[in-house]
Structure 1
Amino acid sequence: MLQRIRDKSSGWMAFTVLGLVIVTMAFFGIESYFAPKIETYSAKIQGPAKFWIWGKTSREIGQDQFQRRFEQVRQLERARQGDAFDPLAFESADNRRRVLDEMIDEEVLALFAEREGITIGEAEVAAELKQMDEFQVNGAYSADQYRLGLAARGMSHGQFIASVRADMASRLVPTQILATGLATDAELDEFLRLSRQVRDLALIDLPTPSAPEAPDDAALQAWYEANAARYRSPEQVAIEYVEIDASLLDVPTVVDEQTLRARYEEQRGRYVTDPVRTAAHILVAAPANADAATDQAARERAEALAEQARAPGADFAALAREHSEDLGSKADGGLLGPIEPGLFEGPFQDALFALDQPGQVAGPVRTPDGWHVIQLADITAGSGRSFEEVRGEIEAEYLATERDRRFSDLSNTLIERIYRDPTSLAPAAEATGLEVKRTALFERGNGEGIAAIPEVRAAAFADNQRIERQVSDAVEIGPGQVVVLQVVEVVPEAQIPLEQVRERVRAELVADTLSKASEAQAEALLERARAGESFEVLASEVGRTVAELPGITRQAPVPPALIDEAFRLPVPGGDAPSVGMVRLGPDRHALVQVLKVSDGELEGLDEATRDQLLGQVAQARAVVEREAFVRALRRQFTVTVAEDRL
């Protein structure tokens, strides 16, 4: 038997199978057979293979990455809507998918730029970097602020520049599309007719159905089980943290006189400006290696020109245009412009700075180019402020610089100690003399004190902190303010027992019942209206009257949902009425009928206004074209969404 096994294992088929196994292990590694991969992405984007099944480009949007973006959008919406913000509505599946789709589009554009080899030059990246608000102090780019920002991100300069370049590359084509939108006058007229359209409406504001009977325990239990996701306590964490606030650092408040005077001398150019001389010249060319006869002839000619230039009423510019051999200044009458000390060294500078009145002529003087006749064309008096005048300003700047230096040194020391031991915050705090503070438990989307800052919560709920309990990188929470934190307690998400939320369950079940009853009532009446029954009959049946709303525009002060439905409905015509249903509240609906449609007026627009509107229409078209480009591009990639991880 052993011989038969040996014979069968040495044939061509055995070698083929063994070869396939070797190739598989070479590409995927032997560990793939023993360590199953656990997927953690919210979405995966894959490009087409370059060769059969190999060479696919791929990007993943991790759960943490998605949650951070979703939290950022939440904060923006909360700030925009104020008291009208509805946290429960914001958590909807549609809203989460909308945010994820935006992130998918960004990754698709990045893969497209990578595939097409789109690159951004160093100058463009540097210009973009210096325009970023987060790296600016008092409206100007700050290298110190940039270093702090990198420390807060935990990135090196090279990593950050690479990310900026990749982002700019991914935005290049969409930006070009946005910049090239076009619209014609005919399209503008059509837009005006539609945007200024006026509609006459009829409206029945339907009554809310009667409240249902109080639900029994079985109904409450059934609702609770069907909507269990609503009744879960969110995951919570508590952190320990240290904070560095530049405004609270202990720095000197008095500076000695010698230090201030030394700083004044170092920065003297800020406070004292020397007189500025504007010069003109006439050059008689003579190479540095010219023989004695040639040099003497050039000198004698220059001396003669100098005598003519010194004569009363002489026109130096005319002499220069006629005789100067300096092609760069000859056409300008020999004018060289402002001359600073050090620009021309040796005899030329000495001769020029010996003159003290405009119009004076010096020379000739020798330089390697030849012999020069020099005129002081103009002199602007210098200005200056004495040390005593600027002492207070210098002292304030010095103290501010010392505060920044102290903040930078302390931040660097803190970060360095954390890099040495990222498992504990205490040693770094002890080395820097900072107090370790602790927060109460807080949620991913809400917190108090320092946990009210979105950047702090985002860092606390990152996997490295929440799961591995590592000390975070520096988190910048404001100008001159950084925080370093460590998660010390985690309370997992959990189901809340029915008994603890019974009244909430009861209220939401009743509200849902009313909402469905209101919608059913409205849909039944809508079908009858579409079948031809008059609004008056339907209104009378539910104890309402028909409200007439003439001259409604898209900007009318009525509920937006009503505007949307009224202008969505077709123009009335024929036997079929143009009717629709509007949801005005959780348990409040209305029927709306379009009675008449009038196109918008085109008169009354001056050329400037038309040009402005034409630009807006062109921009709107460019936005549509950009979205169409992204949609078309997205069809070239395979997108996998893990709905259960949103």
Structure 2
Amino acid sequence: MFETIRSYSRVLMYVLVPLIIGSFVLVGVDSYFNLRDGANHAVAKVDGHDIKQSEWDAWFRQQIEQFRAQAPNVDLRMLETPEMKRQALDELVRERVMRAAADKGGYNTSDERLLAFYRNDPQFAPFRGPDGTIDRARLEMAVAAQGMSVKGLEQRMREMLALRQVTLGLTGSVTAPDATTSTALDALFQQREAQVERFDAKAYATKVNPTDADIEAYYKDAAHQAQFRSIEQADIEYVVLDLDAVKKGITVSEDDLKKYYTENVKRYTVAEERKVRHILIKAGTSAPEAERTAARTKAEALQAELVKAPATFADVARKNSQDAGTAERGGDVDAFIAKGDTDPAYETALFALKPNEVSPVVVTPEGFYILQLQAVKGGDVRSFESVRAEIEDEVKKQLAQSRYAEAANEFTNTVYEQSDSLKPVAEKLKLEVKTAKGVLRTPQQGADGPLASAKLLEAVFSSDSLQNKRNTEAVETKANQLTAARVTAYHPAAVRPLAEVRDQVKARLVAQQAAALARKEGEARLAAAKAAPATAFDKPAVTLSRAKPGDLPRDVVDATLKAPSASLPAVVGVDLGDQGYAVVRITKVLGRDPVVADPKQASAQYAQAWGAAESDAYYEALKSRFKVKVMAPAATAEEKTTDTVASK
């Protein structure tokens, strides 16, 4: 009974998260993003309607928050990359295309379909009664705990189900022909017996010795110079304003701390919990009146007996209680109960008892209870001295939060108005000027703090920052944290001098020449084997499949399984690039690997893959129909910045 609210709050996370992740309603775009340069820049167009930069930003932030809700321990900085942002734009475009298709197709979700979703989707099982209907009171309680309404949830569900209909006819009706499925499964799971002779490039490395002229020619070849380019980097200094920085400048008097303690003493009181035995005589509120009356009479008789002999409570409970979970333990609930955990009437009676005292009969929706208090814990008030440090930190934190907005405004104005140095803002707000060398354009794995922010790095590598060495704008690098940076030295990407990379060039050239020797000998061996295919290789036969490639490169396995098998033995050569060469002699076709997959399951998976392929093809057709155009987002201007600065 007293676990109800907790249980449904947990369940609701599983109900809402899949719906919200598939949600197609954009959250509001805050004024900060609307005011940013380029916020109204169109990044894509679908069916004649623009997708603005601000909408893209909002969609990406929404997805980040959804990831945070699902996986609170994941470092979300790994998601704030240009690749993830572009993926978010692709998903936003897809949503708009599907929405346009749903609107043009007249798809909608009827009340009947919504009710069927309620009845059949396993996410709503905790809210369904025995007859399959949804208990809206419980659902509303759980939804409200997540800051939503049932009406809002249903609107999102209607939109999700309507958009599903756009491709349901494809993904839900695919039937793969037996012949096609069999051919595909053969390609995936077939096994072949073969002999493989490897010509490993490493074995030929000692046979080559590039000259100085060879090394210089390889280095100067335009096709190779990208291998020897240094990475674009910047040395920077930066200052950070956050709640901790504001808090450092705050002092609180002893009187104010004691006043806070007095006003919030309940926060420093350990919650009282009580352990109880009970007897339940069942008679729910929907039971006939005669049954309720008989149950009450029995409960009152037992209560009168127990008041006279409270020590017999456990025995009486074993014989009379109709609570199957506690009767055999003599009515022992076997848990401490806090206020708010259980039925209000039950709670009132329990917290009015003294140890071993028997309560009057308690009327609840389940029936009639008799309680006996076993033990009490908690209820103690911690002394001011024991919580002083905790209070001081809390008060400073609250004051810092109230003063942060003013400090943030001053920080933003100062770094802009005195843009040639960060010292003025550091001195005014008592902040530390930090430095970092070799900062790259994108966040690096393991980066921490503001340098893990893609927004800050975008500002650092802007044209104004690189060309004029001006302060960046104040960038929100996380909640309640602003950072401004200034480039002290810029190192554009450039081809490193030959003297610096000579050993690297030679190593690559040796690998290339060794691979060429391996390829030459391998091709000669292939020609000889084709001339006499019946002659066995001096190598043991191995059984290969895509599921069990052994230690062979994937290219060797693929070539073995793709080779024509009408006439065996068959011989094929495989160019492995820098790794060398391989010659394969196929001797037997063994059929499908029996341990790879159940045939029925494999067929179902193939049909599912086919349906997904058809769905993707249909989406491409819809993109053409609705004239989808994805423009280069404003962020790509950074590439021009790099070229401009490098040329100078």
- Distance in 2 between residues matched to 1:458 and 1:222, nearest whole Å: 34
Which residue of 2 is the match for residue 440 of structure 1?
A: 437
Q: Does the 8 Å contact 2:273/2:376 carry over to 1? A: yes
Q: Residue 271 of structure 2 aligns with which residue?
A: 270
Q: What amino acid sits opposite 2:578 in the alignment?
A: P
- Once residues 112 and 581 of structure 1 are traced to their aligned partners in structure 2, the CA distance between those partners, rounded to angstroms, is 44
1:514 corresponding residue in structure 2: 514
In structure 2, how many angstroms separate the alpha carbons of the residues matched to 1:174 and 1:404?
A: 50
Q: 1:237 to 1:555 in 2, by over 3 A?
A: same
| Cα distance between partner residues in 2 of 1:312 and 1:217 | 107
Using the TM superposition, give the Cα deviation of residue 429 of structure 1 relative to its aligned residue in structure 2, in angstroms: 3.4
Q: Distance in 1 between matches of 2:401 and 2:173?
A: 47
Q: Is the CA contact (8 Å cut-off) linking 1:243 and 1:482 kept in structure 2? A: yes
Partner AA of 2:344 in structure 1? E
C-alpha distance in structure 2 between counterparts of 1:100 and 1:618, whole Å: 34
Shift in Å at residue 602 of structure 1?
A: 4.8
- Picking from 91, 94, 97, the partner of 1:112 is 97
Paired with 1:181 and 1:399, the residues of 2 have a C-alpha distance of 65
Paired residue type of 2:558: E
Q: Which amino acid aligns with 2:97?
A: F
* Contact in 1 for aligned 2:43/2:630 (Cα 8 Å): yes
Q: Relative to structure 1, is the Cα distance of residues 551 and 512 closer, same or farther in structure 2, using a 3 angstrom cutoff?
A: closer
Q: Which residue of 2 aligns with 1:80?
A: none
Taking the TM superposition and a 5 Å limit, the aligned residue runs for 1:38-77 are 46-47=45-46, 55=48, 57=50
One-letter identity of the residue aligned with 1:558: D
1:496 aligns with 2:496: yes
Provide the residue aligned with 1:598 in structure 2.
590
Match of residue 291 from structure 1: none
Shift of 1:262: 4.8
Amino acid at match of 2:515: S
Distance 1:521 1:265, change over 3 A: same
Distance, in Å, in 2 between the alignment partners of 1:573 and 1:417 is 80
Q: 1:390 to 1:275 in 2, by over 3 A?
A: farther
Distance 1:495 1:639, change over 3 A: farther
Q: 1:416 to 1:314 in 2, by over 3 A?
A: closer
Q: 1:201 to 1:244 in 2, by over 3 A?
A: farther
Per the alignment, residue 340 of structure 1 pairs with: 344
Distance change in 2, residues 1:599/1:380 (3 Å)? farther
Matched, 1:220 2:236: no
Q: What is the letter of the counterpart of residue 426 of structure 2? A: A
From the superposition, tell whether residues 457 and 236 of structure 1 become closer, same or farther in structure 2 (CA, over 3 Å).
farther
Q: Determine the C-alpha separation between the residues in 1 that align with 2:219 and 2:578.
A: 21
Contact 1:223 1:505 in 2 (8 A): no
Which residue number corresponds to residue 484 of structure 1?
A: 483
Q: What SS class does the counterpart of residue 515 from structure 1 fall into?
A: helix
Deviation at residue 60 of structure 1 after TM alignment: 8.5
2:441–2:461 CA contact under 8 A, matched in 1: no
Q: 1:99 to 1:311 in 2, by over 3 A?
A: closer
Whether the 8 Å contact between 1:515 and 1:588 is mirrored in structure 2 is yes
| C-alpha deviation, 1:557, in angstroms | 3.5
Q: Which has the larger radius of gyration?
A: 1
Counterpart AA for 1:634? E
Call closer, same or farther: CA 1:280–1:402 in 2, change over 3 Å.
farther
Instruction: Measure, in 1, the Cα distance between the counterparts of 2:450 and 2:548.
Output: 36
CA drift of 1:264 comes to: 3.9
5+ residue gaps, structure 2: 1-37, 59-80, 115-122, 124-145, 147-151, 286-292, 305-340, 466-471, 641-648
Please report how far the alpha carbon of residue 204 of structure 1 lies from its aligned counterpart in structure 2 after TM superposition: 1.1
Alignment partner, residue 466 of structure 1 = 462
Name the residue aligned to 1:579.
572
Q: In the alignment, residue 230 of structure 2 is paired with which amino acid?
A: S
Q: How far apart in 2 are the matches of 1:443 and 1:453?
A: 15
Give the deviation of 1:486 after TM superposition.
Answer: 0.9
Contact 1:571–1:596 (8 Å) recurs in 2: no
CA distance in 2, matches of 1:380, 1:247: 50
Match of 1:632 in 2: 618
Q: Which string of whole-angstrom CA distances, capped at 9 and with x for unpartnered residues, describes residues 99-121 of structure 1?
A: 99956743541331453468999
- Whether the 8 Å CA contact 1:276–1:339 is kept in 2: the answer is no
Within 2, Cα distance between the matches of 1:408 and 1:564?
A: 62
Alignment-mate amino acid for residue 229 of structure 1 = A
Kindly report which structure 2 residues correspond to 1:545-624, keeping only aligned pairs within 5 A, or say none: 546-553=538-545, 554-561=547-554, 564-565=557-558, 568-570=561-563, 572-574=565-567, 577=570, 579-581=572-574, 583=576, 586-600=578-592, 602=594, 618=604, 622=608
> In the aligned structure 2, how far is the partner of 1:614 from the partner of 1:229?
49
State the one-letter code of the partner of 1:112: V
Taking the aligned partners of 1:593 and 1:174, their CA distance within structure 2 comes to 51
| CA deviation profile, 1:414-466 (whole Å, cap 9, x unmatched) | 53334434525445434442211111233336879x96779536344314753
CA contact (8 A) 2:176 2:607 kept: no
* RMSD across aligned positions (CA): 6.5
Contact map agreement 1:238 1:440 (CA 8 A) in 2: yes
Corresponding residue pairs, total: 451
Give 1:255-404 correspondences, 5 Å limit.
260=261, 262-265=263-266, 270-271=271-272, 340=344, 358=359, 377-379=369-371, 381=373, 383-388=376-381, 398=391, 401=394
Q: Deviations over 1:378-416 (max 9, x none)?
A: 346484413257999977865774575477567655533
**Alignment partner, residue 196 of structure 2:** 203
Give the TM-score taking structure 1 as reference length.
0.50
